[in-house]
Amino acid sequence: MFYKASKTLSAALLAGTFLSGAAIAEPVTIRMVLKDFISTNPNSVAHVERIEAALAEQGHEIDIEIVDLPASGYADALGIMLLSGDLPDLIYFQGGDRKIADQNVLEDWRPWIAETEHLKGALYPHNEARLDNYPYLMHVFPLRAQQPVIRTDWLEATGLSAPATVDEYTALLTAIRDNDLDGDGENNTFGTTAGGSLKELNGYLNPAFGITATWLEDGSGSWIHSQISAQERDKLAYYSQLYAEGLLDPEYITINWEAKEDRFYTGRVGVVSASRPSNVVVYQTKMNTVHPNTTLTLLDPPAGPGGQGLLAVDVSKEGRGWAMSALSENKEAVATLLDFMASPEGQFMEQFGLEGIHHVINGDQVEVLPDLGSWESPFMISASWTPPVELFPAPARQYLQNTQDHFLPDNAFAFPSELAAAVDATTNIYNEWAFKFVSGTASFDQWGEYVEAWKAAGGDSLIDHASQVLQ
């Protein structure tokens, strides 16, 4: 999955780092629970042992005890354990955290992060925003965001530059349709597609049409849901144009991600979206099995009448991540551990895996091995650390940069449980009508009919609640 590479490995990288605070000289045991990280997995054990050894070299006598929970039904098993009164020092949640936080047994991360040397600089913009709104979960990993990619040779064959505007993006999709880039003698290639919904296109086109948040002001000072906004209508009208002109795959609504990728590799579509940097690597690897030596180009989100950016990100809270028990007697040790994981030495361990399995070091050089593709960083991927060897090809690195350059915080919030049915109903109404508008089975003259159906399905209640929350 990753490129094999060799560069000079700075001696400073593997040297001991200096964590803030006094050394933890007395042995301390941290109990830690993490999904898919168990004491019977030799790689998990090896990772923990080398972390403990590195901390000991810095004067921190910290033992890490892995608490085993099944991967299947992890969230439920964790909830049962915590509600029984068994709270490890460091807890990874994958849902179910709010009911635990409501019992005041989870620690506020912010004062601890402020005192760290490395962790405070490892956070991404969305981490900081989410911690301000919900300080009990921390998930230091890059954002997942839909971003478009194209074969570099196809982009060059069109004679066009990478599109900077919506009009230029349309021109690129048109060139893909009209120029038989796959060489089969027919113009049977669509400009783009999606894997089952419009979310993949929305990921990089919403801000271009002014959809910069879930809730928008309607011009009179009132709040309106973006799903029934004039901006949404303009965007769906654009999608309808793409659909009618054969630039958008008409089967986008029924295919899954596998079919989407297959269309990309076989030349049936020219542009597809990637939801994470590893997707870009997978796309390029699989593309090379069909078309050797083919590289990909990541396209920036195009600017439009409403602006430029990636889909607005919900910053109300992390959906998953690390929590620290407020009842723990080892909070300083937990903070020291995570600060180390954010340090250059900790990040090398996290991102390069185990020596001899995922990488090898020869003198002052490091070589990435193919099995690194199966390694997942358990603790975090820092926003500020630069690896000594590139783990990703250029378009995947650009993906990561774009998630920060084009980060847009949303104003979404969690609705109370009594409005959950309204949320589901309005979402269903939106999805139904959006496809009808895009496919042409509904005219945009029926927009008012759609809006009324959305409001009648519970939308009025959502708007009333939003006006109270956002005032």
Asked whether 342 and 119 are in contact (CB, 8 A), the reply is: yes
Which residues have CB under 8 Å from 366's CB, separation 6+? Answer: 6, 7, 9, 352, 359, 360, 388, 389
Q: What percent of the chain is helix, strand and coil (3-state, nearest 5)?
A: 45, 15, 40
Q: Please report the pLDDT score of residue 33 as a whole number.
A: 98
Q: Please report the pLDDT score of residue 21 as a whole number.
A: 59
Q: Which of the four CATH numbers 3.30.300.20, 3.30.70.360, 3.40.190.10, 3.40.50.261 does domain 10-142+316-383 have? A: 3.40.190.10
- Tens digits of per-residue pLDDT, 41-80? 999 999 999 999 999 999 999 999 999 999 999 999 999 9
Q: Where are the beta strands (DSSP E) in 4-103?
A: 6-8, 28-33, 62-67, 90-93
Which residues have CB under 8 Å from 37's CB, separation 6+? Answer: 44, 66, 92, 378
66 strand-pairing partners = 32
Which residues have CB under 8 Å from 346's CB, separation 6+? Answer: 17, 51, 54, 118, 340, 379
Q: b vs e for 270-297, b when ≥16 Cβ sit within 10 Å of the residue's Cβ?
A: bbbbbbbbbbbbbbbeebeeeeeeeebb
Give me the amino acid identity at 266. Answer: T
> Which portions of the chain are predicted below pLDDT 50?
1-19
List, by residue range, all CATH 3.40.190.10 domains of the chain.
10-142+316-383, 144-312+385-471
Q: Please report the pLDDT score of residue 6 as a whole number.
A: 38
Does the CA dihedral 267-269-270-274 come out positive or negative? Answer: negative
What does the longest C-alpha to C-alpha distance in the chain come to? Answer: 74
Which residues have CB under 8 Å from 156's CB, separation 6+? Answer: none
Classified as helix, coil or strand, 60 is: coil
Q: Homologous superfamily of 144-312+385-471 in CATH?
A: Periplasmic binding protein-like II (3.40.190.10)
Classified as helix, coil or strand, 217 is: strand
150 strand-pairing partners = 271, 297
Question: What would the two tokens of residue 120 be?
Answer: 């405070």
Q: Please report the pLDDT score of residue 345 as a whole number.
A: 97
